[in-house]
Amino acid sequence: MVRYRRNFVPGGTYFFTVTLDDRRSSALVDHVDKLRSAFRVTRAERPFTINAIVILPDHLHLIMTLPDDDADFSGRWRRIKSLFTHRLAASGVPISRNDRGEFALWQRRFWEHTIRDDTDFERCADYIHYNPVKHGLVASPIEWPYTSLHRCVRAGVLPPDWGGPGEINGNFGERGD
């Protein structure tokens, strides 16, 4: 078996794909308020910058930058996943359990890529912002409500009609879709 080695870089910027165990679920958008709260609490406890994000029904993509002296993105993901899961369970949302009795909401791992340079950052951010179109959820990226694209448009970084005809290609930790 191949052992995956993560690249821990203090102050690094990373692209992530984090997925629910049930790919038919829409829990992330159905309970986006609880997910946002999990992010807020985690950021207050262990700061990080959200450079770009999209929340889809069953997975999310994020570019995260860590503080200069910190490389623990895994601990942050563990906290976000745990907070979200426990808040769902506390609100009465049924969540299946695995053989060990643990909640089985999330896939155990996540896909991570260390951002190498500005070109790589832009490629990953474009992928994030175009992802709702890729999955057939909207015709134009600006139509999707759970994306940092809106922040980029307000800041004048991207025009409101960004992501018109065309396609953003690449393998970003998603199953062959």
Q: Of residues 14, 127, 130, 146, which has the active-site annotation?
A: 146
Cα separation, 175 vs 14, whole angstroms = 19
Q: Is 146 a catalytic residue?
A: yes
The closest of 28, 76, 33, 20 to 54, measured between CA atoms, is 28
The closest of 63, 68, 66 to 48, measured between CA atoms, is 66
Cα separation, 49 vs 55, whole angstroms = 16
- For residue 74, the number of C-alpha atoms closer than 13 Å in the C-beta half-sphere is 7
Enumerate the β-bridge partners of residue 97.
103
The closest of 63, 58, 43, 38 to 128, measured between CA atoms, is 63
Residues with a known catalytic role = 146
